[in-house]
Structures are given as structure tokens and as C-alpha cells.
Amino acid sequence: MTATTATRSERADASAVIFYAAAALVAVGIGTALRVAATFREVGIAWSMPIDEQPLSATVDSGQQSIDGVAQEVMVFATGVDGAAVAAIVASIALWALAATAVIGAVTLVAWNFLRGRFFVPSNARAFDVIGWTLVLAPIAIVMLEAVARNGISAALGLGAGEPAHPIEFWAVAPIFATGVAVGLIAVAFRRGIRLQQEKSVLEKETEGLV
């Protein structure tokens, strides 16, 4: 399939996307490393747990100022967490990093194709498929993995076996899910554009043959 010539503005936009995608990939790597370090500590596995609301006085700015408020969650440090929960924590962090990398990679591919004037090509449609399915499936899987992790930490702290993921947790990722569905529709539109382009090319060849 022949490529068209991208305009100067399109090339500038595509180049900017590639630049920011590279920066985002670095940020994902750093963020993943920091999250691992913040979770797995010498004193145990750090995890934020919800608590009953209660008044709290705390200091900020390295103790220079104090504030009063209401605490709704606390960071706990759990030891003796079972293997399934530890595996769920590792899997959730890894899945987050892989999902972000997949989306960034797919966006970079689309931008690279646009930079070369390749718009309605199969690789762009496949890239949008990757983005869409990643945004749909990854957040749901992460919520479920974090529920397993939270229950394992609760058990290690002697708070009981915990409970399955609450529906409100899935509602929290609903916007990402909806975005994934919308991107999937973009993939459908690109495939429709590819078919129309192919039909146009065939029609032009048939017309040339008649002439």
C-alpha cells in the first residue's frame, strides 16, 4: 500500500508524540522501580489499608508545621505474607508496567507510521487494537490482583481473610475501560478506511485497464 506525504504539521505532531513517548517510557521504568522499593521494605511489605475515620494530628515539611485532620487509611508493614499474596503484588506491579509499555509502544508505532505518511495501514489498526484491549483488560486484572494482595496482607496482620474486590473498585477504573472501548472503535474505523482505500485502488486499476 502506497504511502502519502505527511504535511509539515503532521510530521511535527508525530515527532512530538515520539519524543513524549520516549520520555513516558523512562518515567514508567523509574516509577516501577520506585514502587517496588516503596512496597518491599526491610520491615515488611508496605500497604495502605482503610481504617475507621478518626482525628489525627501530624507534622508536614519535615516537622516544621503541623496539621489536624481525619485519617481514612494507614500504611501498614506486614511480615509473613503468604506466597499467593506476594505473587499478586509482584504481578500487579509488573502488569502495570507492561500495560503502560504496551500502550506507549503502540502509540509510538502509530506516530512513526504517521511520520512516514502511512495512515490507513494494517499496523496502525493493530496498534489501536493493542491500546484498546490493554486499557480494557489490564485495569480489571490489576484490581483483582490487588484484592488478592490486600486479603493476604489482612490475613498476615491477623485481620481475617478479607473479601473479594468490591464493585466500587471496578467503577474506579471504568473511565479507563471506556477509553479502551473508544480506542477499539478507532481501530474499527481504521480497518474500514483500509478497505475503502483498497477498493479505491482496485477501481483505479480497472479504470486504467479500460483506458
pLDDT in tens, 56-76: 998 988 888 999 999 999 999
| Tally of structural domains, the chain | 1
In a domain, 184, yes or no: yes
Provide the residue range defining the domain that includes 167: 8-46+81-210
In a domain, 71, yes or no: no
In a domain, 67, yes or no: no
In a domain, 114, yes or no: yes
Question: In the structure, what pLDDT confidence band is assigned to residue 90 with cuts at 50, 70 and 90?
Answer: very high
Q: Per-residue pLDDT tens for 132-163?
A: 999 999 999 999 999 999 999 999 999 887 77
In a domain, 68, yes or no: no
In a domain, 53, yes or no: no
In a domain, 74, yes or no: no
Per the CB < 8 A criterion, the answer to whether 22 and 28 are in contact is no
Question: In the structure, what pLDDT confidence band is assigned to residue 6 with cuts at 50, 70 and 90?
Answer: confident
Residues 122-131, mean pLDDT to the nearest whole number: 96
In a domain, 52, yes or no: no
- Return the pLDDT at 210: 54
Distances (CA, A) of 180 to 20, 131, 184, 195: 20, 7, 6, 23
Per the CB < 8 A criterion, the answer to whether 180 and 136 are in contact is yes
**Cβ atoms within 10 Å, residue 36:** 14
